[in-house]
Amino acid sequence: MACERRSFLKGVAAAGLAAAAAPPCRGAGEAPEEASPFPVKPARHFVALPEKKVRCELCPRKCEVADRERGYCGVRENRDGAYVTLVWGRACSLNIDPIEKKPLFHFLPGTTALSTATAGCNMECKFCQNWEISQFRPEQIEARCIPPAQMAEIAAARGAPAIAYTYSEPVVFFEYMYDCAVAGNARKIRSVMISNGYILEPALAELCDVLAAVKIDLKGFTEKFYKEYTKGELAPVLAALKYLAKRRMWFEIVVLLIPSLNDGAAELTEMCAWIAGELGPDVPLHFSRYHPMYKLKNIPPTPLLSLERAHAIAKKAGLNYVYLGNVSGHAAESTYCPKCGKVVIARYGYRVGARALAGGKCAGCGAPIPGVWE
């Protein structure tokens, strides 16, 4: 069924419309019969197997899915040997956000992004901040049908120079994100992906052709942490980061520091050395303060001293642009020239203040400041 054309930006919450009262139900299992007003589109990045099975090759899980079942993410379904996506056009969140909220600090600072999401994720982070949409199947989440052309139209009408795919996990709504990015590019509206980086290279390569920037959440730096707290793996995320660097895609990294779980000095030292050596010293790295959430409500917020220690470790490793998040008013929210130390972009929370940046260079000494500035 074709999407009904409608505009519903006003009143839609950033965390998504209300989830069903039932507990999260996602992942593999028999697909329910559902009369849906949303279009069902062919999925990409899969191979057909005998007996009407398919193997998804979008993310490192490579789910083998029997007929009438879904993959781990809960949004991709095998129908008679053909793999389909159930979330094309199925937007459950739509909001205008400062680009700094993503956070992207070296990408069109001071502008806004039309932020959107669908249900579903290919990880199960115990500390997920948007579990109300990421950990549910699409039929459990209220949504509206917004085709890509209309998404670009809404962004243009709101004066947003970018569309951000965020809140849940954009990798699982790959086809919708790709088509929205193409529609946006046709109107000179850029697209940014806010992702866990759990994606295979062929799919990531296609996205790099249409995206303008990527933010990757690096959950930790040990396989043990990934396995226990995200049900994912570290190695594929590192591979994705290396690919982004190879493609010269603009990207930034965020690490949510969780007390006693991923904030050890040795782990952070190893992480920062890897980033500096494998990705380069100019990749922006954000350390964000954790607030008790979802299944880890027993863990307290990150102490400011822990964040500042992480900042010092990153600077010692040679990283030029290190930020602290969720600590509004801290000096480490601003961008400094690594050559002369001058503040080139002042920030307070999501607000951008004075700038000393001209043509992508420090107005004080002329040193280049990498980023997408216009």
Q: Are 277 and 245 in contact (CB under 8 A)?
A: no
Token pair for residue 97?
């956000």
**Measured over all CA atoms, what is the biggest interatomic distance in the chain, rounded to whole angstroms?**
66
Q: How far apart are the first and last CA of the chain?
A: 39
Q: What are phi and psi of 93, to 5 degrees?
A: -140, 140
pLDDT for the residue numbered 16: 37
* Residue 104 CA, distance from chain mean position: 11
Stated as kind and residue range, the H or E segment containing 176 is helix 174-186
Q: What is the pLDDT along the chain (374 residues), one digit of tens a residue?
A: 345 433 344 344 333 344 443 445 556 655 554 567 899 999 999 999 999 999 999 999 999 999 999 999 999 999 999 999 999 999 999 999 999 999 999 999 999 999 999 999 999 999 999 999 999 999 999 999 999 999 999 999 999 999 999 999 999 999 999 999 999 999 999 999 999 999 999 999 999 999 999 999 999 999 999 999 999 999 999 999 999 999 999 999 999 999 999 999 999 999 999 999 999 999 999 999 999 999 999 999 999 999 999 999 999 999 999 999 999 999 999 999 999 999 999 999 999 999 999 999 999 999 999 999 99
Closest CA to 195 of 251, 279, 139: 251
**Which tokens sit at 125?**
């982070």
Specify the 3-state DSSP secondary structure of 59. coil
Rounded Cα gap, residues 9 and 191, in angstroms: 18
Stated pTM of the model = 0.93
CB 198 within 8 A of CB 239: no
Q: Residue 311 is encoded by which pair of tokens?
A: 């900042």
Place of tokens 């008013």: 329
